[in-house]
Amino acid sequence: MGYRELCQYYLMEKIYHSRDRGEGDVEKDKSSDEVSREAQGEAGVKGQAREENNKVKQLQGKWRRSSGLSSTLHSEVQQQEAASRMK
């Protein structure tokens, strides 16, 4: 069973089940081209979100590296500040 047949089967099942529920207007049958365009659109949105998330992570990594404070150095600075406050 190819992609086109699978899409047609899915749409026919959707129409059949909506008739069983007693709905008056049955959703029009979509062509397989419309279904594939919708699927590509959804995949495109997910891809864009993933790209944006990766960009944010990269920028956060650059910011951490450019700040010049490693995690151990940062903790040492915090300890020194705490010690100076106690004096």
Report helix, strand or coil for 61. Answer: helix
For residue 15, what pLDDT is reported? 65
pTM: 0.27
Burial pattern 29-64, b for ≥16 Cβ within 10 A else e, equals: ebebeebeeeeeeeeeeeeeeeeeeeeeeeeeeeee
The answer, yes or no, to whether residue 18 has pLDDT greater than 80, is: no
Q: Tell how far CA 17 is from the center of its chain.
A: 30
Span 23-80, pLDDT tens digits? 544 455 556 666 666 666 666 667 777 888 788 777 777 666 666 556 666 677 778 8
